[in-house]
Every structure is written in C-alpha cells, then in structure tokens.
Chain A
Amino acid sequence: MSDVSADSLAEIYRTTYRALVRFLYRKVWDAERAEDLAQEAFARAVVHKPENARGWLFIVAANMARDEARRAARERRHLTLLTAESREGAPASDEVFQAEQERAQMRAALEQLTPRDREVLLLWDAGLSYSEIAAHTGLAQGAVGTTLARARRRLVEAHEAGEKGEHVARG
C-alpha cells in the first residue's frame, strides 16, 4: 500500500515536477526558490499521501508561493528601486539583456491579470485539465474556458501594450 503510493508518487514526480517548477517560477520569479518549493511540495506529498496527488501538489504549491509572496512583498518594494538603479550601470551581453527584458515584460503583463485569471492560465500551462483547474479554483468547469479565453486575451494585450510603452520610452 505504501509501496503503491510511493511508486505512483515517483511516477507523478517524473511527469509533473518540471511543470510544478514552472508554475512556481511564475509566482516567485526565482528558479532556485521555485525548485526548493517544488521539492518541498513533493516531500509533503510523501508524508500525506493524498489521493489526487497531482491536484494536491498544485494546491500546496500555490499556497506556499502565496506565503512566500507575502513575506517578500515588503522587501521587494525597495529592492526593485535598488536594482532599477544598478541595472543601468551594469552592461550585460545583448542576448542576456534581451532574454531578461522579455522575461520582465512577460512578468509585468502577467501581473496585470486578475489573480483568478492568472491562476487559471498558469494551471493550464502547467498541464492541468479543465476539471482539475475547476477543482483547484472552485470555478464551474464550464467557466474555465471562458476564464482562459479572457486571461489569454488580456495577457497578449498587456504584453503588446508593454512593448509599445517600451518603444515610446526608448524613441
């Protein structure tokens, strides 16, 4: 029995770990931290042996990321100011700079979505089905498509607006 759940958990780990890291990364924006939290979520799953381990993992991960965000929120405000200043002085290679800029734009666009739209979008991108997303968010399954449609449109629009703003600022 414990063997079965350990085996199936090992299988879920193999198929879901990276998606969970990706999901967490878009919440904490730190690859190492996202991996730590994903490991922690799996460690808890080993202890709790939840029935629907995959859905459970994403709920636990989302909660951990929320706690993390609250804790970091206060520090972040003035840290952002500091990095904004220091970044100008540090010339990075074009590719690194470009990739970082794209990521920053994406992050800004993603943060313009409502929390629920963002959650649904990230869960879908992590590979969860409509029914799993419905169970996770409390939405009716029929509403998941509508929410996703809105979230995708807003993401693309916010990103385009961000790009335009960037060009205006540069030009």
Chain B
Amino acid sequence: MKLSAYRIAANKLRTTRILSIKIESPTVKTFTFKDKECIKAKPGQFLMLWIPGVDEIPLSILDAKENGIISVAVKKVGEATEALHSKKAGDIIGVRGPFGNSFTIKTGRILMVGGGTGTAPLLFLAKKLASETTKLVFVIGAKTIEELLFIDKLKSTLAREKTQLIATTEDGSYGIKGIATTPLETLLEKEKFDMIYTCGPEQMMRKVFDLAEKHGITLEASLERLMRCAVGLCGSCVIGGYCVCKEGPVFTAEQLREVKNEFGVSKRDFDGRKIPLE
C-alpha cells in the first residue's frame, strides 16, 4: 500500500455543527453531524471529536450515511463527555478521522456480542452484514432496561429470518437476567458460528474471547485505550507492541493471544504506567 507523505494533512481537524442529539438512555446520547471525510468510514473505525476548550476524545462511529451524516454515541463518563452532553444542536465541534482499521466483512453464521456503547460499531456492522449473512445472532447486555441501547434499531436491522436478538440485563428488568456473556455458553454449545464480533467493556470481551477460544471460533474485538495523536506516533494507546489507534482498534484472535497478559487485564495510564482495568 502506497501512502502519500501528506496523508496526515488529509485528515486534519475540521469543525462542523451538531445536527441533532438523541437521548438513547439516561447516560447515553447520539450526536449527528456532517463530515465529508467520515462518509467513507467503515464499521469499527473511530474518530477524534474535539469539544472546543475542553478536550478531544476518541469515539466509535455508529453510522456514516452516504449523504455525509455521521453519528456517534457518547456515554457520560467524565468532564469531556459531560461537556459534550450539555451541547445543543447547532453548536460547534471538531472532527479528525476516520482512524484505525475496521471489522473484517464475513458472511456465514455470525455472532455479535455488544456491551454498553460498544454496541455502536456492532450495530453499524450489523446493518452492512444483515442481508448477506446466513445467520446473525446479536447479544446485547446492559445494567438495566433503561441502559439497553439501540434496541429499536437492532430490532429493525434484525427483522428477518435467521436472525436473533438476545438481550441481557443485570437486574433482570429486560430479557435474560445476567451479563452479556451469560447466554453465550449454552448458545455456543448448541449452535455453530463462523465468526464472533465483540465490542464493549474489556473484561466482557475477554470472557467472549476465552469462550471463542474454547469453542474454536474466529473472533474480532474492538479495543479502547487512552488516545492522543490517533496516528500511531505518541504511543499512549499501546497494548503489547500494537498501537490501538493504528493497528487497531479491531484485533483478531491471533493478535489477542499475543497480548493475553494485557487484554482484559491492564491498560496504560496518562503517565504511561500500566494500571489494572477498572
């Protein structure tokens, strides 16, 4: 692959206005905006979103429509996301990206396991894959019914034969009581899958990975780390020898085996120290 020496310049920060804001749950909002560069974004890729005067944060792309309307789902977790949540349609934000690799497009019998806002890139992927797969099972987990994201969109995406939506809540307020991995053991015992895609809290993904290894199923997981440059230079997002921003965020089972000591276990803090995952 030949890369232009000025590829960096093609991806520089540009500002745009928030078009719409949708409340998805008490802690999650979906923001849409126009961006020409992100039209070509593939499921799994991320962008850097600038909240002027506050911060710049990595976000998975939830959707990139051909008319240039991009959406991202944002959970309120700290100062930057709170500032973003308080914004209104018409407010200015900045965008860099899309960055990173994407999920491999596979047909056949597919299982997707999403937790929290990690469901976003999987929903994007499911939309692209739904008509081509021979089977598509989507497992989504949340703490409560209020925090189950994109249920309506998932239902409409999966509204055809050989598809199934399995929801879990920790308090049992909707679907199966438990976490996203609860129904997996029995599901993998009785059904065959060619590929598992997962995105969500890393300990959840680690459990999905361990189950996939046990059952000999190929897997791809989308990881999250502290991001600064997003172009593979600063080293803030390293896991093993990989930069999550450039070689990731989507990792194959083979790669995850190499970084088993860190995957689902530790991450690098702002000062570069390895710290345990919360």
Do A and B share a complex? no
